[in-house]
A and B are shown apart, each in its own frame.
Chain A
Amino acid sequence: MAATAEQKGAWVQSWLEAFTEAEKTAPRAAWLKRLREDAFARFWDVGFPTTKDEDWRFTNVSAIARTHFRPAGADKLTKKNVEAFGIEGAAATLVFVNGRYARELSQTSGLPKGVTVASLREQIEQHPESIEKHLGRYADQKRDAFVALNTAFLSDGAWVHAARGVVLEAPIYLLYLTTHEDAPTVTHPRNLIVAEDQAQIAVIEDYVSIGGESVAFSNAVTELVAGESTVAQHYLIEREHLKAFNVSTLRIQQGRSANVSSHSLLLGGGLVRNNVHPVLAGEGGECLINGLFLGTERQHLDNYMHVEHASPHCGSRQFYNGILDGQAHGVFHGRIVVHKDAQKTDAKQTNRNLLLSDDAQIDTKPQLEIYADDVKCTHGATIGQIEENALFYLQSRGISQAEARKLLLMAFAEECVDRMHSAVARQHIEGLIRAHLLFMESSPRHPIAPTPGASGTPGQTSTGKMTERALEEVG
């Protein structure tokens, strides 16, 4: 049931005011204005989802719906502020501070001919035709309130374009920084990645909080268009602080024989929803959907996969591993839809989870909708603890229990890391996982000393109250 008129009045009104305000500074193109207005109208109609909605059964977003957010303000950061976040070996780096492109912090020189990496806003202003062809054509703003909201407030993000046949091995790094503010803020990053036929690219999106903890909501949408025989890799890293709400939607459109992979790493955020929605629209496409989520304290990490097989002879592989400690709640919803004509589909889904505490929780749900009659679809999920046998085996060779636990957790995480093709991305992600596991394992339940790497990471007491607020209605 939808929210009552009164409730709706309160939160929609504030979004309406924000929308009217945002229109004053939004990119002016008429087609875009129409797109935004349609999106806002759609959001107005559907409102935020509730747990009565099957797609949101395990994730209650009322904390988002109730909060009055204002657009994150412009904030100047220096190179020194952000130097800790860059990655070695990126082909280009775009930095966004509170949703705005920060040219002075970005680095786009030296890209090979045929690759464009720029601010989406600037691209809309300078070459609207290249954007209009794709923007908003794939992400489903009719069904998804968060996509509608993002589109309504569409202002800036990354534009990545690889021309036909261009091969770029080094990844393009997109860094989204949110700074501390006194009141709750929201950003709506919007990215468009277009890789033409036979091109090869990799893009990393990295969401980071900077400064003290304050309530911040990142509502990001990325449309990735892969042409014929294109090879594209997409990486999402969520490592904001525990007061952050993060809803990220990746919509992939795959052409004939395209090979696309989506890799997600969820470490941070109090309430996170990771939507991955590939559509295998051309024959012979391959899609790998790979992810790892590490939750602790009262984090809520929801992974919603929606793999659409729309053409024959396509293959999809979903592999998600979760490690949950404290009172964290993980969700894996793996939906596979095989359209009537998508014969010879081969779809596989595996979700493996480790629960490290009695209070940690995982909801894992496969959902297969198959309308073709000659397909192969398999799914499987496991939920377990650290294996006592394995722990003892390592200890019996002299490795401390704490170290043995870390080795086993890292090994479990490595299953996902090993599927990442880009060595640069892999190295970056591996480092983040290691540091995060140190932090998780230094919580009081485990008798090991806190390590220097864990300093500066949010402690149990300082964040407990906030996550309660964010999650109090989460079942």
Chain B
Amino acid sequence: MSLLEIKNLHVNVGGHEILKGIDLTLNAGEVHSIMGPNGSGKSTLAQVLARRDAYEVTNGSITFEGKDLLEMKPEEAACEGVFLAFQYPVEIPGIGNTYFLRSALNAQRKYRGQEEMDAMDFLPLFREKLALLEMDEKLMNRSLNEGFSGGEKKRNEILQMAVLEPKLAILDETDSGLDIDALRIVANGVNSLRNPERAMLVVTHYQRLLNYIVPDFVHVLVDGRIVRSGGKELALELEEKGYGWTEHEAYQPVGARR
């Protein structure tokens, strides 16, 4: 059984069809990249997988470990092992980073019938992951993402991922706005989480991130359809030729089932 199976997914946002029949299968241990120009539907796909209800699924199905993902609330999807690293992480004043992360971890542990972690047990785990992301513990005493730089926010997303250890990690433009040092740290964090049980879906506009997080598969999303799929070399080809190269193919979707 595949970890994630998306079949003929159609999604509307505010009455407009954004995704027009996506088919995609991820197996455990695989890293897939979705590339595409702005407005092609990359982020919509990521948000639908995290179960944001502003997106209306008009057709198709998504199964996660054989379960109907579309029936799940965001928190259920998270507890089942879906994690979205946000393109724009939200600042929430008044909720401490550490407290938030431990609450999230415990909510997930509780869902899985595991014992909740107290602050004493949590701290060593937390410190280990902080070190992985080269983050200062002082930052964690602040409110969730409040006053964080762009790079700090992105690192915080990967930190959360490292602590929550999802089965499916979706990275939505995690590279955008990062300088090369931050990109290296983030990629390093992500790479350390690659393992045979975990799949990743790396959504990006640029090929740059894929130099650091090398995907097994690359899919090109244009105008709500996957127009090409291939290996990591496809990313390089895109970098060279630009998205314009694929646009005429948007009308002959590759792999889309009718």
Contacts and interface: CB of A to CB of B under 8 A. Distances in A.
A395 interface: yes
Interface string B150-179: 000000000010001000000000000000
Contact of A392 (B74, B79, B83): B74
A390 B90 contact: yes
A394 B94 CA distance: 13
A388 B103 CA distance: 19
A341 interface: no
A169 to B, nearest CB: 25
B73 A401 contact: yes
A113 interface: no
B210 interface: no
B182 interface: no
A423 B253 CA distance: 64
Contacts of B54: 388
A398 B164 CA distance: 9
Given A393-B89, A395-B74, A400 B52 contact: no
Interface in A392-432: 392-401, 403-404, 407-408, 410-412, 414-415
A353 to B, nearest CB: 16
A387 B90 CA distance: 10
A392 B52 contact: yes
A247 to B, nearest CB: 31
A431 B73 CA distance: 30
Contact of B104 (A392, A398, A414): A398
A407 B103 CA distance: 10
Interface string B20-63: 00000000000000000000000000000011101000000000
A398 B160 CA distance: 11
Q: Which of A396, A401, A410, A411 has the most CB of B within 10 A?
A: A396
Q: Which of B77, B78, B92 has the most CB of A within 10 A?
A: B92
A104 B3 CA distance: 69
A229 to B, nearest CB: 33
Nearest to B82: A396
A461 interface: no
Nearest to A402: B75
A412 B74 contact: no
A397 B78 contact: yes
A389 interface: yes
Given A400-B107, A401-B73, A403-B107, A410 B79 contact: no
B75 A400 contact: yes
Contact of A398 (B79, B92, B93, B94): B79
Contacts of A415: 93-94
B8 interface: no
A400 B73 CA distance: 9
Contacts of A399: 75, 103-104, 107
A411 B74 CA distance: 21
A428 B77 CA distance: 37
Contacts, number: 74
Interface string A37-77: 00000000000000000000000000000000000000000
B92 A393 contact: yes
Contacts of B92: 390, 393-394, 408, 411
B9 interface: no
B86 A398 contact: no
B95 A411 contact: yes
A135 B6 CA distance: 76
A322 to B, nearest CB: 15
B251 interface: no
A372 B95 CA distance: 41
A401 B95 contact: no
B105 to A, nearest CB: 8
Given A396-B74, A398-B108, A410 B164 contact: no
A398 B80 CA distance: 9
Nearest to A418: B94
B94 A414 contact: yes
A412 B78 contact: no
Contacts of A407: 95, 100, 103
Q: Which of B51, B84, B95 has the most CB of A within 10 A?
A: B95
A401 B160 CA distance: 19
7 contacts: A392-B52, A398-B79, A399-B75, A400-B75, A401-B75, A410-B94, A415-B94
Given A388-B54, A415-B94, 4 more contacts: A395-B78, A397-B164, A411-B143, A415-B93
Interface of B: 50-52, 54, 73-75, 77-79, 83-84, 86, 89-90, 92-95, 100-101, 103-105, 107-108, 111, 143, 160, 164
